[in-house]
Structure 1
């Protein structure tokens, strides 16, 4: 029996890896010498809590059977892959078994759609309910919302899940109709709106009745596949901005398209997803959520694509030279936050520290800012007054030169969100 479960786990954990709406680290540390935990076990992924803790999740599909034939999906009904399905009890037993062995701290459960939406959603709910009520499981549970499922099932799911998510699939309706003509964005918006309103209603009721249960306390998220259809970066981020504002999403995830099989409707880009583009989109998303940027400042008709060689914050600064240099000792917090090389933590330190005296360049370095980048955009107490400022293209060339020099000296090279 265990061999059968192991085979199912191998198939359904592998199929679940294409869903990035729980941040997966790709860790491969193995358990040796009778230690605790094993990040290389099938279906283990990692996500992060609001306080920065990394937690391990069992990430699987309930089934890879599906009634839809989305061209970009490995589980589409026309794809010749080995099919499998867990029972409700098998998922519950796996979760509890992995948890007791300290492999995981929670469950990420998605599914292909078999028979119909309610049939699939009802089984996802039964798993969460059984874990919570019968096994007293208080770990993290992330459930996928199945488009078209009834509001009664969504309400019940929200009472047992910490987070729920539903895949937008393609950034635009036209892109979705091209590759998944059986689906529409309206089918996604309806449950997103229902869950958003339910979260608000439960919070309001909680103010009056303390015993009111929590409802999706970690909020909801969505995911877009990037690169399978010809949307510009502007179209992608405008769509993300709309969903953030309309449905109070916690995250929008951008999944670089991975060619699974040939289809004339999709580009052939090799076996690797467009990771650099994906990274730039996440950087833009970060600027929108934490740096106070309006998406139209970063992307617009004049600039519909993100720069490949520099991050979007630096690109924006170079396009707006009239706003710089920023006087670190007098500028408000939000303007300091827009300086390339200065993050949220450093901006807060600057605002606090300047209460006790004017700040100099050596003090800024100690605060952890990327001074070699920021120096082109700031003025501090010991700055030399320049009669003319260098042209944006000269600043860009200098920053790229400094970055390349640093990159070549770094033993382990990797893309970072911000310097």
Structure 2
């Protein structure tokens, strides 16, 4: 089946409109600004983006909106009701056919589908679920599927989405309830979190069912995620991180995505005219990783902030180390896993390598080259069989040597 010119024209509009959703993209990919029509998720490649499946595979997804029309008027959204953007709308059958056609051509391995709100939240959610139903039941589509669910929709419709999707997500939108009330008065923070709680309960119920049935029905095996816009209002990084860690604790989210606010054309009065530095988004991801995988407490990271903001010149793990120099140096031959995870420049895989290597003998300085991307970065913080750091740690030279201006930071550097 050939893709019609009319469908391609819709796809250009609705793939471009989907670029503002970061929930299936990595941070720091490109500069983006809504005013230039370019950036992350641009229509080049017809809305195809890269994401990671629950098992860690990198996969290509068709990332698109069902429609960019919306009855809500959120101040930070280019698709708000009062926006003058060109509108388009797919039918559920069109999205399903397009997905299958691209899948057969080996362009994609799955679908990321979201939508503006049309008629009502329930009506829109019914349309999204219908796309998933057609794909799963009529086309026997086995590809990856991520569905954005609408918190104002009925719990039954949200649960129906979970029965078809590999992952579901509900956007928290903004870091605080006050900002949400100010910039998106038609949305309710309590209702959003109630919907998240309902999804969490459904996911956990189906996990329990797996232990009782030989072939239980799958329900969002990739869990749920959310997105938070950063820089649309005045919240600092401490507030953003506090909201994120609370969401992880309460709703067992698989991922919180941080999306740097992108200035929009014809914006409402009072909205920022400049986007926040993209490195801020990256630093938030690093801080997020530290609380989830490195054993750092939220308050430990917040205590290192200057005025509630993460340091843009260096990653938060290094900043913590510089402010807690009495914790170092760490003996790589005797330290616990929890202590090793605190070493700047060593990631979780590096720690596992250290622990594995210690079973065969004591580590020397040269051995550290196999567990860290840069021995120069870690040597002030560790001791080995033939290595003890000098007074570099106390001299102040370390900070000057290891911190770079924010514009020189590698956005793709591991959150070590």
Q: TM-score, normalised on structure 2?
A: 0.91
* 2:11 and 2:46 in contact (8 A); partners too: yes
CA contact (8 A) 2:71 2:119 kept: yes
Q: Deviations over 1:85-116 (max 9, x none)?
A: 10111011100000000010000000000111
Matched residues, number: 397
Q: How far 1:418 sits from its partner (Å)?
A: 3.7
Q: Is the 8 A contact 1:56 1:104 kept in 2?
A: yes
1:156 positional shift: 1.3
Match of 2:283 among 259, 280, 283: 280
Please give the alpha-carbon distance, in whole angstroms, between the structure 1 residues aligned to 2:317 and 2:26: 25
**Structure-to-structure mapping, 1:16-27, within 5 angstroms:** 16-23=18-25
Partner of residue 265 from structure 1, selected from 263, 270, 288: 270
Structure 1 segment 86-165 matched on structure 2, within 5 A: 86-165=90-169
The C-alpha deviation readout for 1:219-260, integer Å capped at 9, x for no partner, is 000001111111110000000000001000010000011100
Residue 354 of structure 1 and its aligned partner are, at CA, apart by 1.7
Q: CA RMSD in A?
A: 2.1
Match of 1:256 in 2: 260
2:258 match: secondary structure: strand
In 2, Cα distance between the equivalents of 1:350 and 1:392?
A: 28
Query: Kindly tell me: are residues 392 and 323 of structure 1, through their superposed partners in 2, closer, same or farther at Cα, counting changes over 3 Å?
Result: farther
Matches of 1:392 and 1:296, distance apart in 2: 27
> Deviation at 1:385?
6.7
Higher relative contact order (CA 8 A, sep 6+): 2
Partner of 1:357: 361
- Structure 1: which 5+ runs fail to align? 28-38
| 2:171 aligned residue (167, 173, 176) | 167
The CA deviation at 1:198 is 0.6
Runs of 4+ in 1 over 3 A off after TM superposition: 24-27, 300-303
The whole-number CA distance in structure 1 between the counterparts of 2:305 and 2:111 is 44
In structure 2, the residue matched to 1:32 is none
TM-score (norm 1): 0.90
SS in 2 for 1:239: helix
Range with greater deviation from structure 2 (358-367 or 113-122): 358-367
Gapped runs of 5+ residues in structure 2?
Answer: 31-42
* Per-residue CA distance 1:279-321 (angstroms, 9 max, x = gap): 1001111111211111111114964211111100000111111
> 1:316-355, aligned counterparts within 5 Å?
316-355=320-359
Q: 1:384 to 1:322 in 2, by over 3 A?
A: closer
Equivalent residues in 2 for 1:207-246, closer than 5 Å: 207-246=211-250
- Give runs of aligned pairs for residues 334-413 of structure 1, distance below 5 A: 334-384=338-388, 386=390, 390-391=393-394, 393-400=396-403
For residues 412 and 173 of structure 2, what CA distance do their matches in structure 1 show?
Answer: 25
- CA deviations on 1:364-402 (whole Å, 9 max, x unpaired) are 11333421111111111112475x5643733111223xx
